[in-house]
A and B are shown apart, each in its own frame.
Chain A
Amino acid sequence: MPAERAKAPAPAAPDPAAVPYLPRGVRLRHCEIRKGWFLLAPERAMKLDPVGAHVLQALDGVRSLAGVIDHLAAAFNAPRERIETDATAFLQQMRDRGMVHFRGGSDE
Chain B
Amino acid sequence: MNDATPVATLKAATAIPIPVAMLAELTHRCPLSCPYCSNPLELTRRSGELDTETWIRVFREAAVMGIFHVHLSGGEPAARRDLPELVAGAVEAGLYTNLITSGVGLTETAFAACAEKGLDHVQLSVQGVDAASADRIGGYKGGFETKMRVARWVTDEGIPLTVNAVMHRQNLDRLAETIQLAVDLGAHRLEVANTQYHGWASVNRAALMPTEAQARAASRIVAEARARLKGTMVIDYVPPDHHARFPKACMGGWARMGLCIKPEGKVLPCHAAESIPTLEFDNVADRALIDIWKNGEAFTAYRGTAWMPATCAACERREIDWGGCRCQAMAYAGDAAETDPVCEKSPAHGVLKAALAETEIVQDDFTPRRMGKRPTA
Main secondary structure of the interface of B (DSSP, over half): loop
Which single residue of chain B is at the shortest CB-CB distance from A40?
A: B96
B96 and A34: CB pair below 8 A? no
Could you tell me which residues of chain A, from 17 to 33, have a CB within 8 Å of some CB in chain B?
A: 23-25, 27, 29, 31-33
Q: Which of A32, A40, A98 contacts B69 (CB 8 A)?
A: A40
A42 and B68: CB pair below 8 A? no
* A108 in the interface (beta carbon within 8 A): no
Residues of A within 8 A of B227 (CB): 1
Which single residue of chain B is at the shortest CB-CB distance from A43?
A: B69
Contact count A vs B, C-beta below 8 Å: 47
Tell which of B77-85, B154-162, B178-186, B277-285 binds the partner.
B154-162
A25 and B160: CB pair below 8 A? yes
CA distance A46 to B98 in the complex (A): 17
Scoring A residues 45 to 60 as 1 if CB is less than 8 Å from chain B, else 0, what string do you get? 1000000000000000
CA distance A29 to B158 in the complex (A): 21
* A38 in the interface (beta carbon within 8 A): yes
Q: Which of B20, B98, B123, B157 contacts A24 (CB 8 A)?
A: B157
Which single residue of chain B is at the shortest CB-CB distance from A8?
A: B231
Main secondary structure of the interface of A (DSSP, over half): loop
B68 and A38: CB pair below 8 A? yes
Which single residue of chain B is at the shortest CB-CB distance from A98?
A: B188
Q: A1-B227, A42-B160 are in contact. Are A24 and B66 (CB under 8 A)?
A: no
Residues of B within 8 A of A25 (CB): 120-121, 159-160
A24 and B69: CB pair below 8 A? no
Q: Which of A23, A27, A34 contacts B18 (CB 8 A)?
A: A34
Residues of A within 8 A of B69 (CB): 40, 43, 45
Q: A23-B158, A24-B159 are in contact. Are A29 and B18 (CB under 8 A)?
A: no
Scoring B residues 331 to 362 as 1 if CB is less than 8 Å from chain A, else 0, what string do you get? 00000000000000000000000000000000
Give the interface size class of chain A.
10 to 19
Which single residue of chain A is at the shortest CB-CB distance from B191?
A: A43
Residues of B within 8 A of A23 (CB): 158, 160
Residues of A within 8 A of B123 (CB): 42
Give min CB distance, A10 to chain B, whole Å: 15
Q: Which of A1, A42, A45 contacts B189 (CB 8 A)?
A: A42
Give min CB distance, B115 to chain A, whole Å: 9
B94 and A42: CB pair below 8 A? no
Give min CB distance, A25 to chain B, whole Å: 4
Q: A33-B18, A42-B162, A42-B189 are in contact. Are A27 and B120 (CB under 8 A)?
A: yes
CA distance A56 to B64 in the complex (A): 22
CA distance A29 to B68 in the complex (A): 9
Which single residue of chain A is at the shortest CB-CB distance from B71?
A: A43
Residues of A within 8 A of B64 (CB): 32
CA distance A32 to B227 in the complex (A): 39
* B65 in the interface (beta carbon within 8 A): yes
Could you tell me which residues of chain B, from 52 to 105, have a CB within 8 Å of some CB in chain A?
A: 64-66, 68-69, 94, 96, 98
CA distance A45 to B21 in the complex (A): 10
Which single residue of chain A is at the shortest CB-CB distance from B120?
A: A25
CA distance A33 to B162 in the complex (A): 29
Q: Which of B18, B65, B121, B157 contacts A42 (CB 8 A)?
A: B121
Which single residue of chain A is at the shortest CB-CB distance from B159?
A: A24
CA distance A31 to B188 in the complex (A): 27
A40 and B68: CB pair below 8 A? yes
Give min CB distance, A12 to chain B, whole Å: 16
B18 and A45: CB pair below 8 A? no
CA distance A42 to B189 in the complex (A): 9
Q: A1-B227, A24-B120 are in contact. Are A31 and B66 (CB under 8 A)?
A: yes
CA distance A40 to B123 in the complex (A): 16
Give min CB distance, B89 to chain A, whole Å: 16
Residues of A within 8 A of B157 (CB): 24
* Known interface pairs A24-B160, A41-B160, A43-B236; 17 further A-B residue pairs with C-beta atoms within 8 A, sorted by A's residue number: A23-B160, A24-B157, A24-B159, A25-B121, A25-B159, A25-B160, A27-B96, A29-B68, A29-B94, A32-B64, A32-B66, A40-B120, A41-B96, A42-B160, A45-B20, A45-B68, A98-B188
Complex A-B, nearest 8 residue pairs according to Cβ-Cβ distance, in ascending order:
A25-B160, A33-B66, A40-B96, A24-B158, A42-B121, A45-B68, A25-B121, A25-B120
Q: Which residues of B pack against A, CB within 8 Å?
A: 18, 20, 64-66, 68-69, 94, 96, 98, 120-121, 123, 157-160, 162, 188-189, 227, 236
